[in-house]
Chains A and B, each alone.
Chain A
Amino acid sequence: MQSDWLFIGLFVLIVALFPGVPILLAGLIGPHKLSLTKSQTYECGLETVGDTWVQFRVQYYIFALTFLVFDVELVFLFPWAVAFGQLTMFGLLSGVIFILILFIELLAAWRKGVLEWA
């Protein structure tokens, strides 16, 4: 059990080094001829106007929020699914009611127009 997580820990380390080290090496090998014109932002060949990090469309944010609600609740369903064989009828129904709450949530968001890309 602990050795499982040891493997994951080592693997995280290795997996971070695998792309990291070649990127560093390529930085050493590659040419360094920087100029101000070259390092300008690429936007249609014209000079950039205004700040990049501006206010953005709220729709993206709303979708992320809807996702968050779903994701947090879905994780609670995993223990229910794993123990499915030992569940009583009450356990089954409470799980299904939980899913139905999710469904109602989705329908509420739908009716409210959150899911429209307007």
Chain B
Amino acid sequence: MNFISDPVAFIADLLAKLLFRIGLSQIQVTVVSEFIGAFLLGVFGFSLVIFTIWLERKLYGRIQDRIGPNRVGPWGIFQTFPDMIKIFTKEYITPVGADKIVYNLAPILSVSAVLLTWAVIPFAPTIVGTDLNVGVIYLMAVGSIGALGIILAGWSSNNKYSLIGAFRAVAQVVSYEVPMILALLIPVLLGQSMGVNSLVYAQKVWFIFLAPVAAFIFFTSCMAETGRAPFDLLEAESEIVAGYQTEYSGLKFGMFYVGEFLHAFTISALVATLFLGGWRGPWAQQVPILGVAWFFMKTFLVYFVVVLIRISMPRLRIDQMLNFNWKFLTPLALVMLIVTAFVEKGFLLISPDLGLTDSALPWVRAGVHLFSNLVVVLITIQILKSHRIKAVRVVAKPRPVAVAPEPPASVIS
């Protein structure tokens, strides 16, 4: 355990020894060190937002052929701090007739639900908040609290636009949880564990190669969960002002903003952990600090894609969004789950007879799964194509045209 290869465990060890010296009991030492760990994790999550807000604004600017923030600090990297100070000194305006308790609870809930996710994400083999053995269920449970924050905010604001935003949240955020959980089942099935860290250990070959369709479904439904650009119906500014956050001002609005940016980064971390091998990379197991580097490299790669999609896609209509979820993603995820189960079971039965070496086995398994995924994708494309033709025919029907009425005969003669 040396300082350079694994600083977090080293410092934690040192701290525990120090606390023992002071004369605390075993339980007290555990409580204090866990408290410090939890506090640092929270601070880390929060300060990450400051960076991601800048990154996203910069990317947004560059893609729209602007420079983006460039005044405060090098490349405008400290732009978020003046913004924070500004939003900190704003007045709170609570609308008349708002449900006070719920109204104030909602922004706190929407941030803390997202931050809670970070408790189980492993940054490196040893650097993890806590390695719960039901980590995936914890992720699901915490993920659905975020939707609750949005619904509470919309309901309590005493504003019709907010209420519409909340209803859309019910339809969207809640609906997209179904394919998300179904897609989450596939890594659990392949890794045969619910602990997030042990799922990373199980990825000798990244799960994106074993289950690309599941990765796609998970990524898309997570994007919808964040309620950002292609799926930003809950705060569609051209339709319902600002949706659920219309009546919020000052830092209460700021917290929704923070929650949204943090959520976008959190889903990137989740995709990186569950499908891109998390901290896995050369020498990550020997030198845990390297695992952190691999993890953040993958996370930022996914985050870049998330931002890119946000910038380049137009908003969906609500019926399109729901159709995409219930008639495409959910059946596809169900089919994928059945196919993966059969392929995996078949491979488990056959693999002892094949006489493969330990190093070749995961790759053969990945190849088999990849092939089955490709077959499903091809069939799906065929089905989609046949439906597309029908849809075009429906659109091409002649529409009724307004025709000027015949002038009465008496006028002509």
Residues of A whose CB lies within 8 Å of any CB of B are 1, 3-4, 6-8, 10-12, 14-16, 18-20, 22-23, 25-27, 29-34, 36, 38-43, 48, 52-53, 56-57, 59-61, 63-64, 66-67, 70-71, 74-75, 77-78, 81-85, 87, 89, 92, 95-96, 99-100, 102-103, 106, 109-110, 115-117
Contacts and interface: CB of A to CB of B under 8 A. Distances in A.
Q: Which of A11, A22, A53 has the most B CB atoms < 10 Å from its CB?
A: A11
Interface stretch (B75-83, B279-287, B341-349): B341-349
B177 A7 contact: no
A103 B336 CA distance: 12
B126 interface: no
Contacts of A61: 170
B258 interface: yes
Contacts of B116: 11-12, 15
A25 B90 CA distance: 11
Contacts, number: 212
Interface residues of B, number: 86
Contacts of A110: 326-327
Interface in B106-143: 107-108, 111-112, 115-116, 119, 129-133, 136-138, 140
B136 A78 contact: yes
Given A16-B112, A82-B192, A99 B337 contact: yes
Of the candidates A19, A34, A82, A84, the one having the most CB atoms from chain B within 10 angstroms of its own CB is A19
A78 B246 contact: no
Given A7-B130, A78-B137, A39 B94 contact: yes
Contact of B35 (A10, A12, A16, A77): A10
B272 to A, nearest CB: 21
Interface in B305-349: 318-319, 322-323, 326-327, 330-331, 334-335, 337-338, 341-342, 344-345, 348
A17 B258 CA distance: 15
B334 A15 contact: no
Contacts of B108: 16, 19-20, 23
B159 A42 contact: yes
Contact of B326 (A59, A92, A106): A106
A11 B185 CA distance: 26
A72 to B, nearest CB: 11
Contacts of B30: 3, 6
B88 interface: yes
Interface of B: 30-31, 34-35, 37-39, 41-42, 46, 87-97, 104, 107-108, 111-112, 115-116, 119, 129-133, 136-138, 140, 155, 157-161, 163, 167-168, 170-171, 174-175, 177-178, 181-182, 185, 188-189, 192-194, 241, 246-247, 250-252, 255, 258, 318-319, 322-323, 326-327, 330-331, 334-335, 337-338, 341-342, 344-345, 348
B119 A63 contact: no
Contacts of A87: 345
Given A14-B39, A40-B96, A57 B185 contact: no
B252 to A, nearest CB: 6
B159 A39 contact: no
A41 B331 CA distance: 42
B38 A63 contact: no
Contacts of A38: 93
20 contacts: A4-B131, A4-B132, A6-B30, A19-B108, A20-B108, A23-B251, A26-B89, A30-B250, A39-B94, A41-B95, A60-B168, A60-B171, A66-B326, A70-B178, A78-B137, A78-B194, A81-B189, A84-B192, A117-B318, A117-B323
